[in-house]
Structure 1
Amino acid sequence: YVSAATLAGLLAFAVAVATLPLGPAAKLGALALLVAATWRFKENLGRMLDGTEPRLGEAVPLAGRRSDEVVAAFMIHPMTLENFWSARRFAWLRPLVEKGLISEAGVRQMAESLRPMKVGELQGIRTTDGKSIRCYLLSSPLLPDVFRDNPELATRRAIEGARLAQELGAEVFGLGAFWSVVGNKGVDVQAAVPDITITNGGAYTSGTIKAAIPGILEHFAAEGRDLKQATAGIVGANGVVAFGIARTIAPQVGKVIMIGRDLERLERSAATLRRASKDTEIVTTTSYDTLKEADLIFTATSDPNPVIFPQHVKSGAWIFDEGRPADVDESVAAIPGVRVIPGGVVRPPGGMTSNIDLQFGDGQVPACLAETLIIAATGEHWRKSLGPQTLTENINFFVEQAAKLGFEVVD
């Protein structure tokens, strides 16, 4: 608010100089001063536009100030330009793009130049043991394709986000959506900012899947469908999460089709499954066309676009979609009998409120964010998820602690 007052004063000064009989140098100087100050205070003004700046006279709790409160931060990004416009600080750009005054390419270029900023806050989360959790939502508005095409920039922005989280008083910093794969899945970010705990959320994400799969299989069987005769397709099977799914369901179905980009790695993983599940047929492929055989499909890729379309799915198939953004195209829902089940969605305890739509439903968050909150609540920072490996003991830890603290998996 001091920044806003300063800019208001400088605006008045620039207008006064413009109306006085002064030379062009003085007028340009006043304008340059106004522009420089606006750039300097852009983040303060952005928070005011977003409604995340504390109001005058409002208390600003800091980590450690209250014995029953912990503070975390979580990094998000827009999935589409529609998400980009949803932030009030950027909403003014939309009509300019629609009128052709600014190109979409120009907006994307601007987004890539912006450092991480605070865009929202989760409040009202209170665990069953009485601990309050405050979570700041940070964002550098990179769109999904940037993570694929410019990973160095994405890693740099993640490191800057971790430093901002530390400045805000957060004890734990979570990497959400495509942030979770940058910098060697968070390893490089942690190395660059060692004084705050970094997590990519992989352990509890795997845990929510582990918790949900028995229920999915039970409901599938309850409809009179024989699991031992069923074929399950695993999409993204080169990844840790999808391979974990394959390992869980392989003993329970007749056939598993593992789909991924690296056939050599898939074969090594399949060999492990064949030793553990000798009665199950395990096949590997890079072709999505083989999904047409599957009665059950489990998908968990990091692709920024849908990978499963109607031509890949047969009538009556059940699909568990762990991808963020979704791996299953919306058109798949039109196939008769198909059921698409979103995965990795959690409802934190208490009455959570947020000034920004996370796209997971009212009062709900992704499992990777929930892992960030659980680490902050328990203080067990060594349980963080970094790199490609996820320890079974940590997966079990988050499942157990989530139940104790009041977190619920949405199924």
Structure 2
Amino acid sequence: MTWTLLPLALLAYLIGAVPVGYWAVRRLSGKSPRLASVYNLGFESAARVLGAGPVLLAFGLDVFKGFLAVYLARGLGLEAALLFAVAAYLGHLYPPPFLAPERPFRPRGGALLVGLLAGLSVTGYPYLQAFLPLVFALIVYALTGYASLAVVTVAFSLALVLMFLPVGPLAQGLAWVLAALVVWRYKENLGRILEGTEPKLGEPAPLPGEDQVVCAFMIHPLTLEDFWQSPRFAWLRPLVRAGLVRQAWVERIAEFFRPMKVGEIRGVRTKDGREVRCYLISAPLLPHQITGKPELATRRAVQGARLAAELGATVFGLGAFWSVVGEKGLKVQEAVPEIQVTNGGAYTAGTVKAAIPQILERFEREGKPLSEVTAAVVGANGVVAFGIARQIAPLVGRLILVGRNLERLEKSAETLRRLVARKGAQTEIVTTTEIPAIKEADLVFTATSDPGAVIFPDFVKPGAWIYDEGVPPDVDPAVKDVPGVRVIPGGVVRLPGEAEVNLDLRFGGPDLVPACLAETMILAAEEAWERKSLGGQTKSENIQFFVDRAAELGFEVVD
């Protein structure tokens, strides 16, 4: 090969970059191919959304442009043909901006690979050897039902066949480069195969508007141990434990991963008979990475919303630390207007509002009168914790507000003192930035945004009740060993129906989820988009809406 081939290689790249399949689908169906990607939903589901005709035409056009790109090498030898094949595939995956019709549009190039093989067969490469990878791929497809695995088989079979033929190392190397590019592009599909969530032939993905509604919810690992739940990362666990791989390396690598579908919640059925299916999407960032790198976190949340739209979800929920990124979801919604985005704050506040009176009633029944009780609220600078303080302030004898900003705490305390006075109560309200001050409290309510525990055994009075709204939990597990202490998880909802999930969400069972996830499901079922939670303001009427509709649909607050 000589440098004179580079202009032709550039032409092959541009041929691969021309989005003919995209144009065909867009023109014939009037819909965006990105919102019904074959490689995310499977052929059957994409055909139902876009129509079988447009999808088949797009497939054929991509085959043709792959053939045309390699046909440029006719008479120039196998090495030139493979160089043009790699160039065309790169163009298909990473087109120049002027040929990228809808960013981010992420084609994977299965049809293009078929065209590349067809092109090889007319550039001097034997027909049988050119189409042998297709035979292997069809066998894999028939045995497994995974189209994505069949496409990867095409690329690997080509590289393996060339290893046993009398061709030069450059041709073999180019074939392996092509195979590596295919694996890289299909890594999300391969990961879903490992987790059992990739659509199979004959098992089309559900679509909104049929017998079920579809939503998506973005999660993240709370600790490094949560990484190992996914088969994609489980192989790293023994290496980290043996000290061969540092945790810092794992965290750094995780920052380069785009959001991926890691699981599903199935079997949720409302009282009125509707089924709600929820895709779990994750970018594997730990809490301190999300809070410490807000621009990266917002970018990943936006990418997660786009993936949710491609999967056919109508609502995208932001869970745990994702709920505060991008101005609590506002920037995510602005960047991805084609899907509804919620941070789950309204129903979270609703579950607190519903749970607190029951907790107070039980405590008084089993303990002493509330007027003689000292209560503490940790994280009182936050919206949720201050809401709790408003509820309990007129009822208890003494209230300790704990937060990071003493000046803001004092302003909050003044507001509560005026409220207490209007109610005719005599509550003493004090403020502090020292969490150990809760040692005096009989009742503790905590709702912080800290990535780790903030309440430890030495801070807790024996016999105290603690309502923990934090995610991750604010209460260290060892607190449960303090005599008489009762720790009550907050914001946990029991799903209606018989929920099944392939991940442990750390809430006590497959049917137990955080309220923000439940809000996402309720929005999808009700299509009450005007009720979604975005930004820092949560309207009281929206809180009540979710409390009422949750009860009617069969969602139950766990207290």
TM-score interval for Structure 1 and Structure 2 normalised by the shorter chain? over 0.9
Q: Is the 8 A contact 1:240 1:390 kept in 2?
A: no
| Segment of structure 1 superposing worse, 39-48 or 25-34 | 25-34
Q: Which residue of 1 aligns with 2:160?
A: 15
Match of 2:148 in 1: 3
Contact kept, 8 Å, 2:147 with 2:200, in 1: the verdict is no
The aligned amino acid for 1:184 is E
Name the structure 1 match of 2:100: none
Q: Given the alignment, which residue of 193, 202, 206 partners 1:61?
A: 206
Mean Cα displacement is larger for which, 11-20 or 131-140?
11-20
Q: Conserved in 1, the CA contact under 8 Å of 2:493 and 2:512?
A: yes
* Structure number having the greater helix percentage: 2
2:503 to 342, 351, 356: 356
For the 8 Å contact 2:378–2:444, the answer to whether it is kept is yes
**Hey, which of these two has a bigger chunk of strand by percent?**
1
Distance 1:115 1:61 in 2: 23
2:545 paired with 1:404: no
Within 5 Å, which residues of 2 pair with 1:8-407?
A: 8-64=153-209, 66=210, 68-278=211-421, 279-362=426-509, 363-407=511-555
Q: Deviations over 1:152-191 (max 9, x none)?
A: 1001100111111111121111100100011111111111
Residue pair 2:438, 2:460 contacting (<8 A) in 1 also: yes
Q: Considering only aligned residues, what root-mean-square deviation do their CA atoms show, in Å?
A: 1.4
5+ residue gaps in structure 2? 1-145
Give the Cα separation in 2 of the matches to 1:313 and 1:137: 36
| Structure 1 position 69, deviation (Å) | 2.1
Q: Give secondary structure in 1 for the equivalent of 2:232.
A: coil
Alpha-carbon distance, 1:100 to partner:
4.1
- Tell me the SS of whatever aligns to 1:327: coil
Map of 2:59 onto structure 1: none
In 1, the alpha carbon distance for the partners of 2:382 and 2:276 equals 31
Distance in 1, matches of 2:558 and 2:440, equals 28
Contact 2:206 2:214 survives alignment (8 Å): no
Alignment partner of 2:463: what SS?
Answer: coil
The SS at the match of 2:191 is: helix
SS of residue in 1 equivalent to 2:255: helix
Higher relative contact order, chain-length normalized (CA < 8 Å, sep 6+): 1
**1:252 counterpart letter in structure 2:** L
Please tell me the residue identity of whatever aligns with 1:39. Answer: W
Whether the 8 Å contact between 1:124 and 1:350 is mirrored in structure 2 is: yes
**Normalising by structure 2, what TM-score?**
0.71
Unaligned runs of 5+ in 1: none
Decide whether the 8 Å contact of 2:228 with 2:234 is kept in 1: yes
Shift of the alpha carbon at 1:291? 0.7
The 8 Å contact of residues 147 and 201 in structure 2, kept in 1 or not, is answered as no
Query: Quick one: distance in 2 between partners of 1:298 and 1:352?
Result: 29
Shift of 1:248: 0.3
Q: Aligned in 2, Cα 1:189/1:123: closer, same or farther, shift over 3 Å? A: same
How many Å separate the matches in 2 of 1:33 and 1:87? Answer: 27
Q: How much has 1:240 moved relative to structure 2?
A: 0.7
Normalised TM-score (structure 1): 0.96
Identical-pair percentage: 64
How far does the alpha carbon of each residue in 1:6-42 deviate from its partner, in whole angstroms, 9 at most, with x for none?
A: 3223323323333444433223222212111110111
CA contact 2:435–2:459 (8 Å) conserved in 1 = yes
What is the CA deviation profile of residues 99-130 of structure 1, one whole-angstrom value per residue up to 9, with x for unaligned ones?
44433222211211111111111111111112
The answer (yes or no) to whether the contact 1:125–1:132 under 8 Å persists in 2 is yes
In structure 1, how many angstroms separate the alpha carbons of the residues matched to 2:181 and 2:323?
Answer: 35
Q: Residue 144 of structure 1: CA displacement?
A: 0.9
User: Aligned partners of 2:475 and 2:367: how far apart in 1?
Assistant: 25
Q: CA deviation at 1:60?
A: 2.3
Task: Report the AA paired with residue 242 of structure 1.
Answer: A
Say which is worse superposed, 89-98 or 50-59, in terms of deviation.
Answer: 89-98
- Relative to structure 1, the CA distance from residue 195 to residue 15 in structure 2 (aligned partners, 3 Å threshold; closer, same or farther) is closer
1:286 and 1:317 map into 2 onto residues whose CA distance is: 20
What is the SS of the residue equivalent to 1:252?
Answer: coil
